[in-house]
């Protein structure tokens, strides 16, 4: 009587063991996907920082002529010198002349070491490049974003 009960119990336990082992082997893949999503979000934030850096530099140089420029900067953790990521900003001023008066800015954010980043994110923005609406009348929308496009390379 006892032997008849032990054999089905061992079969049920072995089936549960196979299911648990299968679930445990899939868990690292789920964790890897979650980490990659986190890295993409952080690379996006670094790219946004690049766009804002370009806007601030342009706003400070309102009287200078705008030309094609490339900026790069390494973002460090607050209070340390440990680099978290970097960005590369390319400013295209070929459309900054009348009648268009727009700037095209492309910021590529990298998260992780600069040699081999963990994630990359690209943001392309078109900005209003008309500092004055008329002589003596400043444009309140100067350097505001007209178009925003994001992509993962």
Tokens of 101: 């008066």
pTM of the model: 0.75
Work out whether the CA dihedral 112, 114, 118, 119 comes out positive or negative: positive
**What is the per-residue DSSP string for the chain?**
-HHHHHHHHHHHHHHHHHHHHHHHHHHHHHHHHHHHHHHHHHHHHHHHHHHHHHHHHHHHTTTSPP--EEEEEEEE-TTS--EEEEEEEEEE-TT-STTT-EEEEEEEEEES-SSS-SEEEEEEEEEE--SEEETTEE-TTTT-EEEEEEE--
Instruction: Convert the pLDDT of each residue in 39-87 to its tens digit.
Output: 999 999 999 999 998 888 888 765 555 677 788 888 888 888 888 899 9
Instruction: Convert the pLDDT of each residue in 121-150 to its tens digit.
Output: 999 999 988 877 778 888 788 888 899 999
Q: What pLDDT is stored for residue 65 in this prediction?
A: 59
Q: Is the pLDDT of residue 90 over 90?
A: yes
Q: What are phi and psi of 79, to 5 degrees?
A: 85, 0
Structure-model confidence comparison of residues 98 and 3, the more confident one:
98
């Amino acid at each position: 009587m006892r032997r008849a009960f032990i054999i089905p119990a061992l079969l049920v336990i072995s089936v549960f063991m196979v299911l648990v082992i299968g679930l445990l082997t899939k868990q690292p893949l789920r964790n890897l996907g979650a980490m990659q999503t986190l890295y993409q979000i952080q690379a996006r934030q670094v790219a946004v920082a690049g766009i804002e850096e370009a806007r601030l530099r342009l706003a400070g140089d309102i009287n200078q002529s705008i030309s094609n420029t490339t900026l790069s900067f390494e973002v460090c953790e607050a209070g340390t010198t440990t680099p978290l990521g970097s960005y590369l900003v390319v400013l295209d001023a070929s459309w900054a002349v009348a009648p268009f008066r727009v700037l095209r800015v492309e910021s590529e954010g990298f998260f992780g070491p600069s040699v081999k980043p963990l994630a990359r994110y690209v943001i392309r923005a078109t900005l209003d490049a008309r500092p004055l609406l008329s002589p003596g009348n400043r444009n309140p929308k100067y350097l505001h974003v007209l178009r925003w496009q994001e992509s993962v390379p």
